[in-house]
Amino acid sequence: MIGHAFSLPSSNPQAGQQPSLCEVLLWIAGDTFHWLHNGHHRYPPAPGEESFTDMNIRHLRQFVGDRVKVFQFTKDQERQNGADWEMWIHDRTHGVGLRIQAKKASKQRRYPFDHRVGKQNAYQCDLLVQNALMVRCVPVYLLHNHWDWEHGAEEAAAQAGLLCGHVAADGSHHGCTLLSAYRVQSEVGRKAGGRNVRHAVLWAESLPWNRVLCDRRGAADAPSSRSSSEILTGVFTAVKELTRVGRGLSPTYSAGSSPGDGTQEDAAYAHTPDVDDVDDTLAILGSGPPWLPPHVLQLLQAHEAEPPAPPVPTVATVLVDVSDDRTQMPPSWFEGCVRHR
């Protein structure tokens, strides 16, 4: 193994402990950060996007235990659309779904955002948005990065109370960041006017995935016990505002807005309206975490080895259960998950 790493997040059945989702996502981000940095600068070649996706899913399945179900599908199915995989954080009735496309940063810190796919020669970002709406997901890019940064959208979102306080001391939590697919669409659209995609602007607007999808919230020393309602509300609020900013509906992240604009204090769960071809993720992100769509409810009852065919082809669907009887007390928090020499 190249480099030196701290122990992986692990379960302690005797103590009734499992690693939190935030802890696992932070560890994955740190591993990605150093793996990609070494691949570009010390031990080339760098791994591909498919390798990172496979490892992301493997770690989620391994370290979050019986709270996770993973359904993997064929490569031929994935090639038909613009998304790598789906991730649902749910309590068995309601949840937040992400339709995820991975993008690996080059050595020069650039991404193939303007990639075209299929016989239609369509932009991948357009297909990602289209297919996400068909399965009632939020379309996002998962950026794999090999450097850390300060300020930008992350600082504004944290000040607005949308992000948890769990970060790595060496900045390696920036190894995996989320970016609205709508923001990518707007940048790719600039090419029609002869202008370039601003890669630095996009990564500066992306947010560390553990801080967005955190099941603990608060600072690193905040109480670890949270109800499923609190977990889903926190994730929903952060994802909704990420989407609103990506759609250009919010000039920046802000605190104190109404429940319909991001905050979810005392907000009831909402029923998701039917979405046809209307390009409106905000219809999915109503006033609270929506009801799970039929294909997710089917997967909850299915065996991982024999999943029903997905309504829109994808590489994998990952279901993370945060129900009250599944949420465990995580072990002590750790910082700087991975160190490479």
What is the mean predicted confidence (pLDDT) over 260-271? Answer: 37
pLDDT of residue 75: 59
Integer-rounded Cα Rg, in Å, for the chain is 19
Of 41-50, 310-319, 322-331, which gets the smallest average pLDDT?
322-331
Of 253-257, 298-302, 309-313, which gets the smallest average pLDDT?
253-257
Q: Are 211 and 21 in contact (CB under 8 A)?
A: no
Reference 66, options 326, 330, 324; nearest CA is 326
Query: Per residue in 4-47, pLDDT tens?
Result: 344 556 545 444 467 899 999 999 999 999 999 999 999 999 98
CA dihedral angle for residue 112, residue 114, residue 116, residue 117, rounded to 10 degrees: 60
Q: Are 55 and 318 in contact (CB under 8 A)?
A: no
Residue 286 has pLDDT above 80, yes or no: yes
Name the helix (H) or strand (E) containing 143. strand 138-144
Whether the ω angle into residue 308 lies within 30 degrees of 0, i.e. cis, is no
10 Å Cβ neighbour count for 209?
26
- On the CB side of 241, how many CA atoms lie within 13 Å of its CA? 32
Q: What pLDDT band is residue 287 in, cutting at 50, 70 and 90?
A: confident
The rounded percent of the chain whose pLDDT value lies above 70 is 77
Q: Pull the structure tokens for residue 165.
A: 């306080």
Q: What pLDDT band is residue 257 in, cutting at 50, 70 and 90?
A: very low
Residue 174 has pLDDT above 90, yes or no: yes
pLDDT of residue 64: 76
pLDDT of residue 118: 75
Residue 325 has pLDDT above 80, yes or no: no
10 Å Cβ neighbour count for 161?
18
pLDDT of residue 232: 95
Query: Per residue in 221-251, pLDDT tens?
Result: 555 567 899 999 999 999 999 999 999 888 7
pTM: 0.85
Residue 122 has pLDDT above 60, yes or no: yes
Q: Pull the structure tokens for residue 321.
A: 């259960």
What phi, psi does 238 have (nearest 5°)? -65, -40
Question: What's the chain's length in residues?
Answer: 341
The rounded percent of the chain whose pLDDT value lies above 90 is 57
As a whole number of angstroms, the distance between CA 136 and CA 339 comes to: 38
- DSSP designation for 270: B
Query: 181-189 vs 228-246: helix axis angle to the nearest 10?
Result: 10
Q: Pull the structure tokens for residue 61.
A: 């399945």
Q: What pLDDT band is residue 273 in, cutting at 50, 70 and 90?
A: very low
- Grouping H, G, I as helix, E, B as strand and the rest as coil, residue 120 is coil
Q: What pLDDT band is residue 82 in, cutting at 50, 70 and 90?
A: low
Residue 258 has pLDDT above 70, yes or no: no
Residue 272 has pLDDT above 50, yes or no: no
User: 150: Cβ–Cβ under 8 A, 6 or more apart, which residues?
Assistant: none
pLDDT of residue 120: 74
Q: Are 36 and 145 in contact (CB under 8 A)?
A: yes
As a whole number of angstroms, the distance between CA 210 and CA 23 comes to: 7
Which one has a higher pLDDT value, 173 or 116? Answer: 173
